[in-house]
Amino acid sequence: MSAIGVFDSGVGGLTVAREIIRQLPDENIVYFGDTARVPYGIKSPQTVIRFSIENILFLLKHDVKLICVACNTASSLALPVIRNNFRVPIIGVITPGAKEAVYASQNKRIGVIGTKGTIKSRTYEREIKQLDPKVKVTAAACPLFVPFVEEGWLSGEVVLSVARKYLKPLRQAGVDTVILGCTHYPLLKPVIQEVLGKGVILIDSAKQVAFEIKKILASEDLLNRGKGGRHKFYVSDNPEWFSSLAQRFMGKKLMNVRKVDNV
């Protein structure tokens, strides 16, 4: 009974795991959160690639049939380099998010927000331009958003004024669609929406990612025929902290989060 492997630098990927579970309730899932080395967003491509390979090798020990890189930074920096090194299909979160944004935008002005690593890599921009060269992309790194979410600062004047500062270039560019290019950002949706205005569409790629996974498993005849998938959660540090944050990201508590050394 092979599983879908999912990894992230920490807890953020749980927003993706939740959507996979919703769309594919009969699939087994093995999730790995690299909480000993979190965050990835401030680290170099070279280091994020090394960490990602180690995480993939960990998941491969657990009989996975497909791997989802549920982390925008790793998807941006590592996936283009390592995708073809492994036999299992590896799905990132960039292409699905880019597709949905291009589909949603009416005025062909799309905003992208993410970690420094994600924005600096310009991977979203390249993906969007490949889908539609006419789109104008405005990108902004929002490095304080992850600490805010992890500290539970999801609203209030402090978060609002930081958001106003970060999102100013997107407002000035008149974007009608914004990709939430970090799995933590969906938790700040109300704040981001307030700053950008109600008319702007916020793209959270989780749904589209789960849909792509479903399509690939179906086309390769890899869908689980059993009933009721089992879900295992591993972290490289702080299982209790991970469990407590899971409430925020998954909407439910996680029992039996196991600490492992992935390297």
Nearer Cβ to a second copy, position 11 or 203?
A: 11
By CB under 8 A, tell whether 132 contacts a second copy: no
What SS3 state is found at 61? coil
CA 105 to chain centre: 21
Give me the residue label for tokens 């790629």.
Answer: 205
Nearer Cβ to a second copy, position 42 or 250?
A: 42
For residue 39, whether the previous peptide bond is cis, meaning omega lies within 30 degrees of 0, is yes
By CB under 8 A, tell whether 36 contacts a second copy: yes
- In the chain, what is the straight-line distance between the N-terminal and C-terminal CA atoms, in Å? 25
Using alpha carbons, select from 181, 150, 144, 185 the residue that is nearest to residue 166.
144
What is the biggest distance separating any 2 CA atoms in the chain, rounded to whole angstroms? 51
By CB under 8 A, tell whether 148 contacts a second copy: yes
Min dist. Cβ of residue 109 to a second copy (A):
27
Min dist. Cβ of residue 63 to a second copy (A):
27
By CB under 8 A, tell whether 184 contacts a second copy: no
Q: Which of 44, 107, 130, 247 binds a second copy (CB under 8 A)?
A: 44
Q: Which of 18, 62, 129, 143 binds a second copy (CB under 8 A)?
A: 143
Beta bridge partners of 64: 3
Positions marked active-site? 71, 182
| Amino acid making up residue 67 | I
State the Cα–Cα distance between residues 163 and 7, nearest whole angstrom: 27
Q: Which of 38, 59, 192, 213 binds a second copy (CB under 8 A)?
A: 38
Nearer Cβ to a second copy, position 52 or 238?
A: 238
DSSP one-letter string for 14-35: HHHHHHHHHH-TTSEEEEEE-T
Q: Which stretch binds a second copy (CB under 8 A): 22-30, 95-103, 169-177, 230-238?
A: 230-238
By CB under 8 A, tell whether 80 contacts a second copy: no
CA distances from 90 to 23, 84, 131, 155, 226 (A): 18, 8, 20, 35, 23
CA 212 to chain centre: 14
Q: How many residues bind a second copy (CB under 8 A)?
A: 25
Residues 155-174, one symbol each (x = binds a second copy by CB under 8 A, - = not), give --xx--xx------------
Nearer Cβ to a second copy, position 57 or 158?
A: 158
The residue ranges that bind a second copy (CB under 8 A) are 35-38, 42-44, 46-47, 143-144, 147-148, 150-151, 153, 157-158, 161-162, 236-238, 241, 263
